[in-house]
A and B are shown apart, each in its own frame.
Chain A
Amino acid sequence: MATMTTDKRKSGWAGVAAFVWVVLAVLGIQGLLGRLLQGHHLANYGSYVTWGLWVAAYIYFIGLSAGAFLLSSLIYVAGMKRFEKIGVLALFVSAITLVMALLSIWFDLGHMGRFYYIYIRPNFGSMMAWMVWLYTAYFLLVLTELWLALRPGLVRQAGEEGFKGKLARLLLFGKTSVTEQQLAAGKRWLKILGGIGVPLAISFHGGVGALFATVVARPYWHTPLYPILFLTGALASGGALLAAVVAFLWPKKDEEWASIVTGIGRIVLGILLFDLLLEWAEFSIAMWYSVGPEYELMMRVLFGEYWYVFWVFHILLGSLIPIYLFVRKGNNPIAVGVGGLLAAVTFMAVRLNIVVPALVEPQLRGLEWSYRDDRLLFEYLPSWFEWQVVFFVVALGIAIFYVGYRWLPIVRTSEEA
C-alpha cells in the first residue's frame, strides 16, 4: 500500500515535470525561431547595456558546470570515498550545463556563423579568447572522461535489444567488447584526466571572472576578487545543483543515498557561507564611506528598482532558506535537496547582478540625454523573447539529461562505482 502511494506520488511528480518541460520546450522553440529568423531584434539589450540575460545565463550555466565538476573531482582528489558514486553523474551534469552555457553565449553573438574565428584567429591577449580555448579543452576532457567512465556500462548495454542497445553500440563506435587491460587503462586515464581537469576548471572559470575583472572601464567589475568570487560561486551553485539532482533523481533512496546528499549539503553550506563572506567584502569595501565610483551602482543593486533580484532571489531564496535547510534539516536528504535546488536556481540572480549593473551607468554624465534611441538607453529588463531563448536552452539541457538518465548507464555505472 505504502509503495503504491509512493509510486502514485512519483508518477504525479513526473507528470508535473513533463508538463513543465513541454511548456518550456514549446516556448523555447518559439524563442529559438525568433533568434534564428530575426536576429537580435526582439532582444531588449542595446548598445549601451550591451550584455544582458544571455550573457548572465552563460556565466550561470558555465558556473554550474565548473562547480559540479570541481566538487566531484575535489572530493575524489581528497579521497572522500563515499562520494565516488556520484562521479559519473557529476561529470554528466557538468557536460550538459557546459553545452547549455555555450549555446547561451552562441545565441548572443552578432554573427553566430563566425564563432570559429576564435579558433582560427585568436588574440591570446584577450581574456575571452583564453576562456574559449580553455573551456574547449575542458569540454573535450569532460566528454572523454564521461566516455571512459561509461564504457563498461555501455559494453554491457550493447548486448540489449532495442533503442538502448543501439545507442550503446553507436557510442562505442561498434566496439562492443573490451578487455580487462583496456578497462584498467581506462581507469588509469580517468585518474589522469581528472587530475588535469581540476586546474583546467579552476583556470577557465577563474578566467570567466577575469573576463569581467580585467575591464578597466568598469569599476564595478574591475576587482581582483572577481575570479575568486566566480570560483566560489561556481562551487556553491554547481554543488547545490548536484545535491538536488542526487536527492531527487537517485533511484535507490537508501542510507547511502542519504549520506551522499547530506554530505554534499554540508560542503555546499560551507562554500555558500564563504561565498557570502566574499560578497560582503565586495560590497562593504566599495560602499563603506558612501562615496566612490561603485557606491551608486551598488546602491542601485541593493535598493534600486530591481532590489528584489538581490534581496528576494539571492539573499532570501538563494541563501537564507538553503542555509536554514542545510543547518536545521541537514540530516534530511529531501530538505537538503530542496535547499540545493533553491540555491542553484536562484544563483541566476547573482549572475544577472554581475552583468547588468556595471552597464547601466553612463561612462560620461549626460550621455543618457544626448541621443534618443531605444537601443541607446542606460536601462535594461530582459524581454520575454530573451527568456524564451533561455527556456530553450534549459529544455534542451533537461532533454539531454533525460536521455542519459533513461537510456545511458549513467546511474547504473554510478551505483557500481
Chain B
Amino acid sequence: MEWAISRRRLLSRVTSSALAFAISSAAGVMRLSAAETKTGFDPGEPPPPDADVLLRMQYELRKALQKPVDQRKWVMVIDLRKCVGCHACTIGCVVENKLPPGVVYRPVIEEEFGTYPNVGRRFIPRPCMQCQNPPCVPVCPVNATWKRPDGVIIIDYEKCIGCRYCITACPYNARTFDFGEYFTDGTPHRAPYEEAPSFEYGKKWYRKNEDSPIGNARKCHFCLHRVEKGQLPMCATTCIGRATYFGDANDPDSLVSELIAKPNVMRLKEELGTDPHVYYLT
C-alpha cells in the first residue's frame, strides 16, 4: 500500500530526538498551554531544493515545533488541480485514526458539471477547516471542544456528552458521530484492526464497551498526534498527487505561506466569516 510505504520511509527519517520527545510527552488529551516552549525537535538540515515536497514540509514542520505552540499556525493547502480523486487521503485518514462506520474526517467531494461534450469533474477533499472563528465550538454546552493556540479545533472525548449540537453547527459537515459500529460486524469475526486503538490526541483509544470515542462527536484534528511528533498529517503523506500541503503559516518561509499568497487561492464559504485555515488552489 502506497501510504504504508511512504509512512515508513518518513518514520525512518525522524531523528532520535523525536523519540526522546515521544517518550517524554505526557499521556492524556493534549491541552497544551501557551507557555509551553521548545519541544526538543532538531529539524536537521533542510532538504535539497529538488527533494520531494514532503521532505520540505516535514523539515518546516519540525522547525515550527521548536516554537511555543501559540506561535504556530497550522494550515492546510489543497491544490484542486493536482487532486486526482483517488481518495487515498480519505482512506489514509480512516486507517490512521481507525475510523468506524459513520465517521469520516476527510471525504473527497466529487462533482460533475457541464453537458456533453463539455463536461468536467472536480474533486474537493474536505478536511476540518479548523476555522479561526469556529461555529462548532461556542455551541458545546460542556466546553468539550475548543480551539488550541495553534488554531486546531479539538474535542475532549472524555468530556463530550454526545449531544451533537456541534455537528449541526458546522457549516462544512465536518463533524460526525461515533455510533459504536464496526465494518466487519455481521461477518463471522470482527476484524482485529477494527479494535486496534487509535492514537488521537496523544492517547490510546480503544473502542470497546461503548466507551469514548464511541458516543462522541469526532472530527479531523490535522493528525495532531503525528504533528506533535514531527510527522505530517496522514492525508498529506498519502496524497499521491502531492496535492495536500501542510505547514506553519506563521513561518514566512514555509511552503504553505508561499502558496496561500497565490492569486488563485480560495476558501470555502468565506462569506460566513469562519476564516478557515484550509485553503484551496483552483
- A residues contacting B by CB (< 8 A) are 39-41, 46-48, 50-51, 108-111, 114-115, 117-118, 121-123, 125-129, 132, 211, 214-218, 358-359, 362-367, 369-371, 373-376
Contacts and interface: CB of A to CB of B under 8 A. Distances in A.
Contact of B177 (A47, A129, A358): A47
Interface stretch (B23-31, B32-40, B53-61, B97-105): B97-105
Contact of B215 (A110, A122, A363): A110
B175 to A, nearest CB: 8
Interface of B: 90, 101-104, 107-111, 124, 126, 135, 138-144, 159-165, 167-173, 175-181, 210, 212, 214-217, 268, 272
Contact of B168 (A50, A126, A129, A370): A50
Contacts of B272: 216-217
A347 B138 CA distance: 31
B272 to A, nearest CB: 7
26 contacts: A39-B180, A40-B215, A46-B179, A47-B167, A48-B173, A50-B164, A109-B163, A118-B142, A123-B141, A127-B139, A211-B165, A215-B139, A216-B171, A216-B272, A217-B171, A358-B168, A366-B109, A366-B110, A366-B111, A367-B109, A367-B173, A370-B126, A371-B90, A374-B102, A375-B101, A376-B176
Contacts of A376: 102, 104, 107, 176
A400 to B, nearest CB: 25
A41 B104 CA distance: 18
B109 A217 contact: no
Where chain B touches its partner, the secondary structure class is loop
B141 A128 contact: yes
Nearest to B185: A41
A111 B167 CA distance: 15
A367 B108 CA distance: 8
A110 B164 contact: yes
A47 B107 contact: no
Contacts of A50: 164, 167-168, 177
B162 A109 contact: yes
Contact of A128 (B139, B212, B214): B139
B161 A217 contact: no
B37 to A, nearest CB: 29
A48 B169 CA distance: 11
A370 B101 contact: no
Contacts of A121: 142-143, 159
B173 A362 contact: yes
B170 A371 contact: no
Nearest to A46: B102
A241 B107 CA distance: 46
A122 B214 CA distance: 22
Contact of A39 (B124, B139, B168, B179): B179
Given A51-B164, A111-B215, A126-B139, 14 more contacts: A47-B103, A47-B104, A50-B168, A110-B164, A128-B139, A128-B141, A218-B168, A364-B109, A366-B109, A370-B108, A371-B90, A373-B101, A373-B104, A375-B102
B108 A375 contact: no
A110 B162 contact: yes
B135 A216 contact: yes
Given A215-B139, A216-B272, A359-B168, A40 B109 contact: no
Top 4 A-B residue pairs of the complex, sorted by shortest distance between their CB atoms:
A110-B162, A375-B102, A110-B215, A47-B176
A345 to B, nearest CB: 27
A365 B178 CA distance: 23
A111 B181 contact: no
B173 A126 contact: no
Contacts of A370: 107-110, 126
Given A46-B102, A122-B142, A127-B139, A369 B179 contact: no
B171 A363 contact: yes
A215 to B, nearest CB: 5
Contacts of A365: 109, 111
Contacts of B107: 367, 370-371, 376
A364 B139 contact: no
B269 to A, nearest CB: 8
Nearest to A133: B141
B22 to A, nearest CB: 30
Nearest to A365: B111
Contacts of B181: 41, 375
Contacts of A110: 160-164, 177-178, 214-217
Contacts of A122: 141-143
